[in-house]
A and B are shown apart, each in its own frame.
Chain A
Amino acid sequence: MSAVTVGATGPVVVNEFAKLRHLRVGLVAGLMVLGTVALTLLSTVTSTEFADPATRTWDVPLAGLSLAVPMVSPLLLAVVASRMVDIEHQGNGWLLGSTSGVTPGALCRAKLLTAATVVVAATVVTHLAVWALGRLAGIDAPVPVGLWAGFAVTSLAVNLVVLALHLVLSAKVDNQLVALGIGLLGTVVAVFGSGFPAWFAHATPWGYYSLVAVAGYEGEHLVTTAPSYPSVLVLVGLAAALFVLVTSRFDRQEARS
């Protein structure tokens, strides 16, 4: 312990990364990539817009991604958060951390940093895989870099907000039914979000998946649209402030046994 400053962020994060291996978080992240890419591929090859090889554009896989991300991400993010936090409930980790100088709030912040790294890596792999498969499927049209990057960044931001929410939920409520149940209901909101009015989409974090979608079908026609950057920016700012506030309140609570 002498080489490590007690309570410093770095060693706590390193410790969280060490925990990930036994928690099979890599496997869950792999599932997230596989599920998202598979759903994107499926909706792409079955689209009538993709039938003619001469007119294939990137809008079709982008519409697939805009559908697949909200279908797959919310529940698996809830699973990642629950896996990472439940061990502290079961193994008395909160108390152990507190007695060694790592407060529950600091532990939650370290968990977010660790899990966010995994989610960022999974996002990069997902988008690169869709691009590579699109090229293999014969899409020769130029890549709409701005639109795609906008979707990648904003959907990642929404994913990180949902992840932070689940980390707090799983930490606050011992019974993981609450976190996973909310994750399941969130999936429903995320999937149906595009059919709801804009005010409803803004009301929950999961509704924002519909606000960052860059392509979708209106009847038979495929239309593209820019992600709603201001909405996502406000969401991220609000979520960051709330996360800091709630986790700092964890710090002031007496250690849980």
Chain B
Amino acid sequence: MTPSLSAVLGTELGKLKRSLSWSIVVLLPLVMVFAGSFMTLVSQQQLADGWHTLWLRSVVFYGLFPLTLGLGILASLVWRPEHRGGNWNALMSTPVPTLRIVLAKTLAIALLGAVMQLVLLVAVVVTGKLLFGLPGLLPPRYLVVTALLVVAVLPVAAVQSALSMAFRSFAAPVAVALVGAGIAAVALAAELGGVIFVLPHALTARATQLATGTFGDSGQLTAGGSLAIVCASAVLTLLVVALATRFQERRDVRV
């Protein structure tokens, strides 16, 4: 009997214990919120539009580069044990179907990515209340954006997982993530909205811009825009997972 997807995912998460993954998952969003808030405090400016300004300063740059690079590092971390010692051959000779392994690795990375978004959300709320004394709570639309972000990290998790599977090097896939993020930033600056259906890094960056009014965003959270993020995430993730599985099935054990 082959192990179920949840069992394989459980194994993957078990491998992450004591792997220092928390340093990216927790520190990166905290540093981003801290950097945005610190600059505001140092310049002695006020948050002109309250929660909206705080969200914008914490999230937009984070989505352009740090988020995708963080996911790239986490993907390298998740595949790292398989590239060491004889683990690759052990993985290839287990009765677990390749699709299940690829899916479990992708989901493990995406799960860490989801926790990153929650840490970011909590950090923004705590900073807004304690540091700036903003009235009320974060507007609900940003909770929806956070939920969309949790979905939008899936395709980047899938593509970075595939790269980390293909490359033994820890750093090479991260360099590719930087290139992807750079192309995404230029395409979004040029207001090429369709790029989110082609480039996973652009999709994640676009999701962080929702309701901010930056780049090509209208400043409103619309059903159409949200649906586009969800659909593009589903299509790109399935496509990348299918391609990665096919690629992996054609590879052999290593000697």
Contacts and interface: CB of A to CB of B under 8 A. Distances in A.
B76 A177 contact: yes
A86 B76 CA distance: 13
A42 B182 CA distance: 12
B35 interface: yes
Interface string B85-111: 000000000000000000000000000
B159 interface: no
Given A177-B76, A180-B174, A188-B35, A195 B168 contact: no
A188 B32 contact: yes
Nearest to B27: A185
Nearest to A175: B20
Interface stretch (B36-44, B121-129, B200-208, B241-249): B36-44
Interface stretch (B66-74, B130-138, B140-148, B213-221): B66-74
A76 B70 CA distance: 14
17 contacts: A31-B178, A42-B186, A79-B172, A83-B171, A83-B172, A175-B19, A176-B76, A176-B80, A177-B23, A177-B80, A177-B170, A181-B23, A184-B69, A188-B32, A188-B35, A192-B38, A196-B42
A226 interface: no
Interface string A62-96: 00000000011001101100110010001000000
Interface string B60-85: 01000110011001001100100110
A192 B61 CA distance: 10
Given A176-B76, A185-B28, A79 B168 contact: no
B171 A192 contact: no
Given A177-B76, A187-B65, A86 B170 contact: yes
Contact of B170 (A71, A82, A185, A195): A82
A76 B19 contact: no
Contacts of B186: 38, 42
Given A176-B76, A177-B20, A177-B76, A192 B175 contact: no
Interface residues of B, number: 37
B46 interface: no
A28 interface: yes
B169 interface: yes
Secondary structure at chain A's binding surface: helix, strand, loop or mixed? helix
B13 interface: no
B170 A180 contact: yes
A177 B186 CA distance: 27
A39 B185 CA distance: 10
B182 A35 contact: yes
A196 B73 contact: no
Contacts of B178: 31, 35, 72, 75-76
Secondary structure at chain B's binding surface: helix, strand, loop or mixed? helix
B66 A76 contact: no
Given A177-B77, A192-B35, A195-B39, A79 B27 contact: no
A178 interface: yes
Interface residues of A, number: 33
Given A83-B171, A184-B73, A185-B31, A177 B21 contact: yes
Nearest to B24: A181
B24 A177 contact: yes
Given A31-B175, A177-B170, 8 more contacts: A24-B172, A31-B178, A35-B182, A75-B69, A75-B175, A79-B171, A90-B83, A178-B23
Given A76-B175, A197-B42, A176 B170 contact: yes
Contacts of B24: 177, 181, 184
A212 interface: no
A29 to B, nearest CB: 11
B179 interface: yes
B174 A178 contact: no
A12 interface: no
Interface in A152-203: 175-178, 180-181, 184-185, 187-189, 191-192, 195-197
Contacts of B169: 82-83, 86
Contacts of A189: 35
Interface string B1-34: 0000000000000000001110110011001100
Contacts of B20: 175, 177-178, 181
B73 A90 contact: no
In the A-B complex, the 10 residue pairs with the closest CB atoms: A176-B170, A82-B171, A195-B39, A79-B171, A192-B35, A79-B175, A177-B77, A180-B73, A83-B171, A184-B69
A28 B27 CA distance: 26
A85 to B, nearest CB: 10
Interface in B144-186: 168-172, 174-175, 178-179, 182, 186
